[in-house]
Amino acid sequence: MILPCIDLMDGKVVQLVQGREKALEGDSPEAMLAKFSAFPQIQVIDLDAAIGKGANDGLVEMLASKATIRAGGGVRTVERAEALLDQGAFKVIVGTAAFGPAGPNQGFLKNLIDAVGRDRVILALDSKDGRIVVKGWREATNFKAEDVIRQLEQYCSGFLCTYVDKEGMMQGTDLDWFRRLRAATDLEITAAGGITTLEDIRALDGMRIHCAVGMAIYTGKLDLAQLAWMTS
């Protein structure tokens, strides 16, 4: 499955490089929804919430009312996860709160799945320089995704794994990293970060890994019609 990405900042659809520098703005959220109408799911990330500078709840709710979305960004409490699901999200993406100083934050994760159900949770294993990064990719942990993924299976329906080193850079992704992740879990994996070509997508599909695609769509490097045909 191919998931187009809608990243929200200051009420606008944007694309960032490595979660920091804004590279471009997309069309309005409504226009992007229309462009992505042929895809079964859309990934929506509230970047303002991820870095703790407000939220775009009204836009997330509007998007969820018109499409099947996975929503994330700043989900650091059970209440925030419940709010996104109440706004209509199909699943909620959780990253920062899933980790503590010693490893997976099992107390929080147990409370989360008790409240919303394991099948509604996707855990984000976003990695840079080989380590999981949190708080909008601004802080590094001491953990490698491939080392903790098995411990986290009981708390989610799948994983969003972003190769931050190449996020937004249009330079391809690290297929070897995704092979290691695929070997470490049988749960659903969605890949993101640097996916640039049809060859990237086909290689990941061959590993039974979904693709969340942003910059390559927004710049026209990948053709929406062809991607929609591939995912149908």
CATH 3.90.1150.10 fits 2-231, yes or no: no
Extents of the domains making up the chain: 2-231
pLDDT in tens, 40-67: 999 999 999 988 889 999 999 999 999 9
β-pairing, 188-192 vs 210-213, is: parallel
In whole angstroms, give the CA distance from residue 210 to residue 191: 6
Helix, strand, coil percentages in the chain from 3-state DSSP, rounded to 5: 40, 25, 35
- In this prediction, residue 110 carries a pLDDT of 98
User: Of 46, 48, 126, 200, which is the active-site residue?
Assistant: 126
- In this prediction, residue 210 carries a pLDDT of 97
Q: Which residue has the higher pLDDT, 137 or 184?
A: 184
In whole angstroms, give the CA distance from residue 100 to residue 25: 34
In whole angstroms, give the CA distance from residue 190 to residue 23: 23
Report whether pLDDT(154) > 90.
yes
User: Of 7, 46, 48, 200, which is the active-site residue?
Assistant: 7
Note the pTM of the prediction, 2 decimals: 0.93
Active site residue 7: yes
Active site residue 126: yes
